[in-house]
Amino acid sequence: MRHTPHYHTAPNQSQQIRQVRYNAPMPDKQRTLGQFETPPDVADLLLGLCLRHPAGRVLDPSCGTGAFLARVARWQQGMGSLAGNPAGDLWGVELDATAAQQAAGQLPQAIILNHNFFALQPGQVAGAPFDAILGNPPYTRAGWLDRMEAQLGQQLPLFDPASPDERVTAARPGKRAQAILPGRMWGRVLNRRAGLHAYFFVHSAAFLREGGRLGFVVPNGWLDVAYGEALKQFLLDDFKIVALIESQVERWFPAAKVNTCLVVLERCQDPAGRAHNLVRFIRLRRPLRQLIPPGRERYSAIEQLAIRLLPAARRDSDDMHIQVVPQAELRAADKWGVTLRAPAGYRRQHARPGLVPLHTWASIQRGYTSGANRFFYLTPAIIAQWGIEPQFRRPLLKSLRGQPRLQLRPADCTHEVLLIPPTARLEGTAAAEYVAWGEAQGLGQVVTCAARRPWYALPPQTPPPLVLPKGVWRWHMAPRLLGEILVDQQLYAVYPAGGIDPQVAAALLNSSWLALQLELHGRVNFGAGVLWLATYELENVRLPNPRQIPAGLAARLAGCFAALAAEPAPARTADVAALTPGREALDEAVSDLLGLAPAERLAVRQALAERLAVRRQRAQLPPPHTR
């Protein structure tokens, strides 16, 4: 779908995508806008779930050139011919005058309003309240909008001058006072970090009749991130949540760097009705083109698919996996993406007695943020060139990429970090010459460096016994560090509490149970296939408390980790789902500790393998053994 330039300044699943490289020269308008059309199968699936009568009144609140509304018209025509009913009213709202004009020309039967949707009230739109609201809302953030002002001329700010951005707005001559989001909207319901698509949910509610349905294609990040909590609470308070749908086998917008989901809601002001509603968390295991046949049977097939997608109980088949949860059990603070992607029984397993958050027995700290890696991270060539003295450098682990071992020593590090104490006397040293060179390069003025006194003195770091990655690419690993090794900010240093055997901790952190939790609770941003883990996400994974593990089982875990770390290199470089003897033994020991039944152990491994496969597929990566 094409969306207004006023809405977009970041890659999105919509037809008009603005791709901004912040450090690159700004391209012209035509090069900045890409064409990413919403697949007809996606649009038709939303129609099948939301438009339950061909004569229904439909609104697309960000209609662009009218492509989504054109699908609605075809759907109404097809269903109307089957039911003998006329097509209903079509309404669209579009801020960009050129796009609105194109939409009106393409759809003479539709009513297209060239207007800012957020400045409209239901009383100003004759078709309201609507039977269905459908579309592909734009996704952007406030900080991206100003980037495109030169190309778009009449660019509007996202938040009006009454917002917390007032000082920035007032400081820029010529900035228009009018904004996309009026002052009555920003911060009223949503966290200000939410994307613009979240505001479309909020404002659309007033335009939808009781019992009417809303279907949007949106980025899926809000399901799990902290700033999505306000949006989830709004949905719980105003709608029956009919379904949340993701595909695990295809990216619906492969050219756009965003992962998306379908959201289907039903307007409901009755608290009891919302509480008794069943929410379907749906993972599609086949491409939509295989689930929706072309030809004359298409509309009937979509209706049948819609029925299959809304069962009263859990469903698991080759086509789809559906979890069914009473809406009364959902909490806005929960990660809904975990429920969407987790295997059956995971919620029960995750809540087992004896499992505690990782932060209760280990502290997690991010490694160095130097502000100038090229200066602070020393290669052998730099050390040889400058002759930097050993007392001013320590072995540094930058990442786990290319590290197949689960036990790492200083010799495995390709870099050393420049570590000069603030009170060190440097007169006459090679390190002093190196610091003087860095000063001449202006590195002392870099924001991160300038905050230190002196700028070249990195804070001390206690060498950690274990590390976890910030970003997981192909496989999970939590190596034990043998010797004094410091780490970069791309790694998390893990410090078990006193009295806890690092070997036992390493066994728990390298288990498939831990890997599955990370796959479910982490985030895969922009479709790149890398699993990103925030500190709080690691701190809250649930594991057995090593302090309470019986001595015999603790010794078994330590031995299993040692055996896994000693396996031949091909086994160590396989992904975590590969069932090597060492991994099987370690997982069995952890499963015994968890008290998992045989079927539950198998479900954990199968779910982990599935999540890894989904990440590789979305990133269009081949299996690990082929690279």
pLDDT digits (tens, 9 = 90+) for 80-103: 655 655 567 899 999 888 889 999
Q: What was the pLDDT predicted at 8?
A: 30
- Token pair 């749908």 in the structure block, residue: 245
Alpha carbons 221 and 87: distance in angstroms, whole number: 36
Tokens of 27: 């391209």
Q: What was the pLDDT predicted at 437?
A: 97
Other beta carbons less than 10 A from residue 552's beta carbon: 8
How many degrees, rounded to 5, is the angle at CA 100 between CA 94 and CA 106?
A: 130
Q: What was the pLDDT predicted at 186?
A: 66
SS3 245: strand
322 forms bridges with which residues in the sheet?
Answer: 282, 315
Nearest alpha-carbon partner for 557 in 523, 585, 576 = 585
**113-122, long-range: CB < 8 A, 24+ apart:** 116/156, 116/180, 117/61, 117/62, 117/93, 117/200, 117/203, 118/180, 118/181, 118/182, 118/185, 118/199, 118/203, 119/182, 120/93, 121/206, 122/206, 122/207
Q: What was the pLDDT predicted at 185?
A: 73
- Would you give the distance in Å from CA 90 to the centre of its chain? 33
Q: What was the pLDDT predicted at 436?
A: 97
The region, left, alpha or beta by phi > 0 then psi within -120 to 50, assigned to residue 64 is left
Query: CA Rg, the chain, in Å?
Result: 27
DSSP-derived letter for residue 181 is B
Nearest alpha-carbon partner for 3 in 26, 33, 27, 39 = 33
SS3 431: helix
> Are 6 and 114 a contacting pair, CB within 8 Å?
no
- Give the pLDDT confidence of 513-525 residue by residue, as tens digits: 999 999 999 887 6
> Are 309 and 280 a contacting pair, CB within 8 Å?
yes
SS3 437: helix
Q: Largest Cα–Cα distance of the chain, in whole Å?
A: 94
Could you write out the DSSP letters of every residue in 520-566?
HHSEEGGGS-PEE--HHHHHT-EEE-GGGS-HHHHHHHHHHHHHHHT
Tokens of 407: 């036990």
DSSP-derived letter for residue 488 is B
> Are 56 and 132 a contacting pair, CB within 8 Å?
yes
Q: What was the pLDDT predicted at 141?
A: 55
CATH number listed for the domain at residues 37-140+195-341: 3.40.50.150
CA dist 62 to 82, 119, 184, Å? Answer: 29, 13, 20
Alpha carbons 615 and 603: distance in angstroms, whole number: 18
pTM of the model: 0.78
> Are 374 and 416 a contacting pair, CB within 8 Å?
no
Tokens of 281: 């968390």
Nearest alpha-carbon partner for 68 in 96, 99, 98 = 99
- Give the pLDDT confidence of 63-72 residue by residue, as tens digits: 988 989 999 9
Which segments of the chain have a pLDDT < 70? 1-37, 80-87, 139-178, 183, 186-188, 191-192, 255-257, 525-528, 569-578, 618-627
- Give the pLDDT confidence of 271-323 residue by residue, as tens digits: 999 999 999 999 999 999 999 988 778 888 999 999 999 999 999 999 999 99
> Are 138 and 260 a contacting pair, CB within 8 Å?
no
Q: Tell me the three-class secondary structure of 359-417, residue by residue.
A: HHCEEEEECECCCCHHHHEECHHHHHHHCCCHHHEEEEECCCCCCCCCEECHHHCCEEE
3-state helix vs strand vs coil in the chain, percent to 5: 40, 20, 40
- Token pair 């080759």 in the structure block, residue: 318
Alpha carbons 160 and 176: distance in angstroms, whole number: 9
Distant-in-sequence, close-in-space partners of 314: CB < 8 Å, separation ≥ 6: 322, 323, 324, 344
> Are 146 and 157 a contacting pair, CB within 8 Å?
yes
Q: Is 283 exposed, middle or buried (0-12, 13-18, 19+ CB in 10 A)?
A: buried
Domain limits, the chain: 37-140+195-341, 351-365+464-627, 368-460
